[in-house]
Amino acid sequence: MMKAAICTGYGSADVVRIVDVPKPVPGDYDILIRVRATTVTSGDWRIRSLEMPPGFGLIARLIFGITKPRQPILGSEVAGEVEAVGKDVSKFRVGDRVVAFDGLGLRCHAEFKCIRQSGNGGRIPDQLGFTTAAALPFGGTTAMDFLRRVGLTAGEKILVIGASGSVGSAAVQLARHQGAQVTGVCSAANVEMVSSLGAERVIDYGKEDVTSLDPNFDVVMETVGALNLTQALRLLRSGGRAAMIAGGLSDMLTGSWKSKSRGFKAVVGPAAEKQEDLQEIVALAAKGIFRPVIEHTYAFEQIAEAHRRVQQRRKRGNLVITLA
Ligand SMILES: NC(=O)c1ccc[n+]([C@@H]2O[C@H](COP(=O)([O-])OP(=O)(O)OC[C@H]3O[C@@H](n4cnc5c(N)ncnc54)[C@H](OP(=O)(O)O)[C@@H]3O)[C@@H](O)[C@H]2O)c1
């Protein structure tokens, strides 16, 4: 048996309970990871609470369970040690330090987690600890995927709305690393932090109305849901691109047509979660080029506290959960 945090139903953080469940058994091509660190992400909050971007409520119930989460153990990213391997595993050995990202596979809020050896995971370089490694995949690979899909290039101007969150803080660093001129948007409390990540200009949304900025951005990356697609397109120069990371169903269905007809491009929908992206993020972190922002580290027993914090939609970067 093992301890796992389960969601007993959809609802507030009070539905989260730590209970004993059967320990997973690795199949022939699986590795069993002893989890040392995991995170509570905005994705976990969305599944637990069913608070989805506009239009996705019913779709989410079909995917995650009609009346309660079909997979009650949430969590999409882990860092830990390989405890056991299936008989046909050749890429990993017992004792390897690994990080993994298992988007919809979930089951990371537990003492043990199985992934396929060919799944989205890899070794943790010596320079990185478990806490840092666990906070790399969700924000880092989401930001990397959307930046690639909007084709950001050196010298371009990008506006990152929600620059202090998990995805936004990663986007600021990656865009800066690519040589872009970054403007970040966050509250006053996070202006200094976003500036330290590489933003040339930081806008405090409490003081300045983002929708009234000059329309001269090559790329707008919206990670909050504060602006709809029409408002984001208004901030672009002709031919600009919008990454609507928290976009609703109507943005997803009409985004391509709405943007093309006005000479723009919109990227909406789920991130690709590619293994190459995780490897690149891990390598950038090992070189000190990318560092995941970690607001707080909680003990596993405090996981409901982390759920409460995510739900406020004000966290700085990532919330890590450590397991002894
Ligand atoms: N499409 C995909 O595949 C995909 C993947 C991952 C995440 N997502 C979605 O992306 C969104 C962001 O995720 P996340 O994990 O980065 O969220 P998060 O870490 O919870 O980020 C919240 C951040 O947004 C900032 N914020 C709140 N209101 C704001 C406003 N009006 N203007 C600017 N910033 C504001 C907060 O900063 P202040 O405290 O400074 O306000 C906070 O730092 C979520 O909706 C998530 O569901 C989508």
pLDDT digits (tens, 9 = 90+) for 10-57: 999 999 999 999 999 999 999 999 999 999 999 999 999 999 999 999
- The Cα–Cα gap between 298 and 304 comes to 10
DSSP string, 8-70: -SSSSGGGEEEEEEPPP---TTEEEEEEEEEE--HHHHHHHH---STT-HHHHHHHH-SSS-S
User: 19 alpha carbon to ligand 1 midpoint, in Å?
Assistant: 30
Which of 104, 146, 245 has most ligand 1 atoms within 8 Å of CB, for mutation?
A: 245
The closest-lying atom of ligand 1 relative to the alpha carbon of residue 318 is 19
Q: Is the CB of 184 under 6 A from ligand 1?
A: no
pLDDT digits (tens, 9 = 90+) for 215-243: 999 999 999 999 999 999 999 999 999 99
Which of 40, 42, 150 has most ligand 1 atoms within 8 Å of CB, for mutation?
A: 42
Question: Helix or strand or coil: residue 302?
Answer: helix
The closest-lying atom of ligand 1 relative to the alpha carbon of residue 268 is 1
Q: Which helix (H) or strand (E) holds 137?
A: helix 137-149
pLDDT digits (tens, 9 = 90+) for 161-218: 999 999 999 999 999 999 999 999 999 999 999 999 999 999 999 999 999 999 999 9
**Tokens (6 digits) for 289:** 């080029």
- The Cα–Cα gap between 9 and 188 comes to 36
Question: Helix or strand or coil: residue 123?
Answer: strand
Query: How far is the first Cα of the chain from the last one, in angstroms, to the nearest whole number?
Result: 16
Q: Is the CB of 60 under 6 A from ligand 1?
A: no
What is the chain's percent helix, strand, coil content, to nearest 5? 30, 30, 40
Name residue 168's amino acid: G
Question: Helix or strand or coil: residue 198?
Answer: coil
Half-sphere exposure of 202 (CA within 13 A, CB side): 21
Q: 57 φ, ψ to 5°? A: -55, -55
Spatial contact of 166 and 318, defined as CB atoms under 8 Å apart: yes
pTM check: above 0.85: yes
